[in-house]
Amino acid sequence: MKKNIILDLDTGVDDSIALALAAIDPSVNLLGVTATFGNVTTDVGARNALDVLALVGRSDVPVYEGAYHALNQQKFQPHDVSVRIHGRNGVGQVSFSRSTREVEKESAFDFIINSMHSYGKDLTIITTGPLTNLATVLQREPELCFWNGQVVVMGGALTVRGNVNHFAEANISQDPEAAKMVFESGLDVTMVGLDVTMRSRLTQHDADLWRSGGKQFGILFAGMVEYYITNTLGSDETYVHDPSAVVCSLHPEYFTIIPLHLTVETEGVDRGRTIVDHRRLREGNPTTKVCVDVDASKVEMSLEKIATFARS
């Protein structure tokens, strides 16, 4: 049976790779993509998602726009660091052909809510941006905290330092209040944070391989990833953040996962930090599962599906 998945993305470079990975996987029933702000503004992220889907021949997948800014903010502009890493257009300054499909009229919130009701436990929502869309869903229908599907979050850092500052990871830092709401909600959440995403590598060799197939997809994705590689670590490799969440949803057995009651700091110097809720240390049945280790070779092997697709 195929796995029903919604991807909630702030479609920058690694989100695009996560999207391609899910879209080309025959074991995935990709129900839709919901767009959020983060690496880019929501409208740009939605556009990028449509274009990536067209590039991999999956224009049948609908894309919905969600939150335009964090819960406690009135507006959003991408941070300089996001522009530097993902490019002004979010996809490494590479020009994708425009998809002829448009963004859906229905909001991301309604789409997520309706899908949660229709699919129940047989739905996984994978988020690779700020958690604002999911938090908004919970604000609109609080009883959805009893929903028994799965949420896989790329975000946070428990055993390692953050990447925005010592404490906070970028996706959580964009909207700590939303993240706190989701982690404390009681939903079945798996956190795929920097603890694991920084252990796997995407390299220049991967980009060369993608390009060598000579297909439009491989050439554009190689260019996009080269931009990202150059502007993140400045070497010939980079981390595998967002695709790790897709891999984890399909193959949790590659990961070492600890159940914990997780929360997010919203005050002080460690605002945006994902941390165990000290008030709930003695409580049973933690709802968050935190990935603390991974067989990186398995994640890297999963990325080979992209190379195979680019060369087929």
Query: What residues act catalytically?
Result: 10, 241
Nearest to 111 by CA among 46, 64, 151: 64
Contacts of 221 (CB under 8 A, 6+ apart): 16, 17, 20, 207, 210, 306, 310
Query: Which of 175, 184, 206, 242: binder of ligand BDR (CB under 6 A)?
Result: 242
Collapsed DSSP state (helix, strand, coil) of residue 31: strand
Query: Which of 8, 15, 169, 226: binder of Ca ion (CB under 5 A)?
Result: 15
Q: Which does 265 bind (CB under 5 to 8 A by kind): ligand BDR, Ca ion, none?
A: none
Cα separation of 83 and 47, whole Å? 16
Query: Which of 8, 25, 51, 169: binder of ligand BDR (CB under 6 A)?
Result: 169
Stretch that binds ligand BDR, among 10-18, 198-206, 272-280, 300-308 (CB under 6 A): 10-18
Interface with ligand BDR, residue 173, by CB under 6 A: no
> Do 228 and 17 contact (CB within 8 A), yes or no?
no
Residue that has been written with the tokens 């590039």 in this structure:
55
**How many residues belong to the chain?**
312
Interface with ligand BDR, residue 128, by CB under 6 A: yes
Report the residue number whose CB is nearest to ligand BDR. 170
Draw the binding track, 181-220, toward ligand BDR (x: CB under 6 A; -: no contact).
----------------------------------------
Interface with ligand BDR, residue 35, by CB under 6 A: no
Stretch that binds ligand BDR, among 7-15, 134-142, 257-265, 274-282 (CB under 6 A): 7-15
Query: Which of 211, 241, 273, 289: binder of ligand BDR (CB under 6 A)?
Result: 241
Contacts of 53 (CB under 8 A, 6+ apart): 19, 23, 33, 59, 61, 63, 99, 101
Structure tokens at 32: 């839709």
Cα separation of 36 and 13, whole Å? 14
Alpha carbon of 171 to those of 142, 164, 215: distances in Å?
23, 9, 32
Cα separation of 49 and 69, whole Å? 18
Q: How far is the CB of 10 from Ca ion (least distance, A)?
A: 5
Interface with ligand BDR, residue 14, by CB under 6 A: yes
Q: How far is the CB of 9 from ligand BDR (least distance, A)?
A: 8
Phi-psi region of 262 (alpha: psi -120 to 50; beta: other; left: phi over 0): beta
Q: How far is the CB of 193 from ligand BDR (least distance, A)?
A: 8
Stretch that binds ligand BDR, among 12-20, 55-63, 206-214, 264-272 (CB under 6 A): 12-20
Stretch that binds ligand BDR, among 68-76, 90-98, 104-112, 167-175 (CB under 6 A): 167-175
> Do 34 and 62 contact (CB within 8 A), yes or no?
no
Q: How far is the CB of 274 from ligand BDR (least distance, A)?
A: 12
Contacts (CB under 5 A) with Ca ion, residues 113-152: 128-129
Interface with Ca ion, residue 195, by CB under 5 A: no
CA quadruple 240, 243, 247, 249: dihedral positive or negative? positive
Residue (144 or 155) nearer to ligand BDR, CB = 155
Q: Which residues bind ligand BDR (CB under 6 A)?
A: 12, 14-15, 39, 128, 154, 163, 169-171, 241-242
